[in-house]
């Protein structure tokens, strides 16, 4: 068995307190026995923005900002990889709801959330980078962010790109998202790691309760590990890469190559 250990951190960040939030996330991760640790969406900033000025003030440079610096130092010290959500300062004042993959030698990749939810559409520019898969040790890892779960095309593209694992930093608000992520894992025969946050964020921009229940799901759609709704903590599990790479549902039924893309043409639009 080719195995690889992955984990997630679940907790409640304080809005606008990047240093505190990054320290908390890394402290929760510290004792976790995992090669890759996933932290929630917008972990450094918090979620409920109230103005464009606030978004601009909290937006981070993807190479030199607080998340990049804190995760790079931890990844180097602990000789492993991290993925975490952060507000990314892009060109021309644009801000993206992004996640970065960081290893011992620094930031390796950034993903910009493709499907923005609700008021995120006021604060962020929709993602403009292709869905991509990255080597993390022996594994191939793709990233999605939170509401991307509602668009099965995104997970499918990562599966077709060869992902063994989808890392899914989240601030989930719908109670059925965790169950839907089991389906994303099942239909693509890969692992998913959803790192969600807890608590209710009450700010001038709105009041948003989050659902916790972060989880790791295997290629059969089974939940291997799931946190409680309000739990603060971290969990890890083994990933069987051979299982993720075997796309046969039965000996003669390979689910990816049995697709009929000729009949899916509307998906191209």
Residues of this chain that interact with ligand ACM (CB under 6 A) are 41, 117, 146-147, 171-173
Question: Catalytic residue among 41, 60, 88, 120, which?
Answer: 41
CA distances from 153 to 119, 131, 158, 167, 224 (A): 23, 10, 9, 16, 24
Residue 122 bears catalytic tag: no
List Cβ neighbours of 222 (8 Å cut-off, separation of 6 or more): 182
Residue 146 bears catalytic tag: yes
Q: Are 124 and 82 in contact (CB under 8 A)?
A: no
Q: How far apart are CA 46 and CA 123, in angstroms?
A: 13
Question: Catalytic residue among 54, 113, 120, 140, which?
Answer: 113
- Tell me the closest approach of the beta carbon of residue 104 to ligand ACM, in angstroms: 29
Tell me the three state secondary structure of residue 269.
Answer: coil
User: CA angle, corner 160, sides to 265 and 104, nearest 5?
Assistant: 145
How, if at all, do strands 233-240 and 253-254 pair? unpaired
Closer to ligand ACM by Cβ: residue 138 or 209: 209
Closer to ligand ACM by Cβ: residue 39 or 239: 39
Closer to ligand ACM by Cβ: residue 82 or 149: 149
Closer to ligand ACM by Cβ: residue 43 or 117: 117
Question: Catalytic residue among 54, 60, 146, 201, which?
Answer: 146
Q: Are 125 and 94 in contact (CB under 8 A)?
A: yes
Closer to ligand ACM by Cβ: residue 40 or 142: 40
Residue recorded with tokens 């995760």? 71
List Cβ neighbours of 74 (8 Å cut-off, separation of 6 or more): 26, 29, 82
Tell me the three state secondary structure of residue 123.
Answer: helix
User: CA angle, corner 148, sides to 63 and 178, nearest 5?
Assistant: 115
- Tell me the closest approach of the beta carbon of residue 140 to ligand ACM, in angstroms: 24
- Tell me the closest approach of the beta carbon of residue 265 to ligand ACM, in angstroms: 29
Residue 222 bears catalytic tag: no
Closer to ligand ACM by Cβ: residue 93 or 209: 209
Q: How far apart are CA 258 and CA 251, in angstroms?
A: 12
Task: Write phi, then psi, for 213 (nearest 5 degrees).
Answer: 50, 40
Residue recorded with tokens 């999605």? 144
- Tell me the closest approach of the beta carbon of residue 83 to ligand ACM, in angstroms: 16
- Tell me the closest approach of the beta carbon of residue 171 to ligand ACM, in angstroms: 4
Catalytic positions, written as ranges: 41, 113, 146
């Amino acid at each position: 068995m080719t195995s690889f250990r992955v984990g997630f951190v679940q907790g409640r960040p304080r809005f606008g307190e990047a240093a505190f939030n990054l320290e908390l996330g890394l402290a929760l991760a510290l004792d976790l026995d995992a090669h890759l640790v996933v932290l929630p969406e917008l972990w450094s900033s918090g979620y409920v923005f109230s103005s464009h000025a606030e978004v601009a003030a909290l937006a981070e440079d993807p190479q030199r900002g607080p998340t990049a610096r804190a995760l790079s130092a931890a990844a180097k010290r602990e000789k492993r990889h991290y993925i975490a959500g952060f507000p990314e300062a892009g060109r021309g004042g644009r801000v993206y709801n992004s996640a970065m993959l960081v290893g011992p030698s620094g930031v390796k990749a950034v993903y910009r959330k493709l499907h923005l939810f609700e008021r995120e559409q006021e604060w962020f520019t929709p993602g403009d980078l292709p869905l991509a898969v990255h080597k993390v040790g022996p594994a191939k890892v793709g990233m999605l962010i939170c509401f991307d779960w509602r668009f099965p095309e995104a997970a499918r593209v990562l599966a077709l790109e060869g992902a063994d694992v989808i890392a899914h930093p989240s601030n989930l608000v719908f109670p059925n998202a965790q169950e839907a992520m089991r389906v994303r894992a099942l239909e693509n025969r890969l692992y998913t790691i959803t790192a969600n946050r807890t608590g209710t964020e009450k700010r001038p921009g709105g009041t948003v309760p989050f659902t916790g229940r972060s989880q790791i799901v295997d290629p059969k759609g089974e939940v291997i590990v799931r946190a409680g709704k309000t739990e603060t903590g971290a969990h890890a599990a083994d990933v069987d890469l051979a299982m993720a790479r075997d796309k046969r549902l039965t000996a003669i039924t390979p689910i990816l190559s049995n697709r009929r893309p000729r009949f899916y043409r509307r998906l191209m639009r």
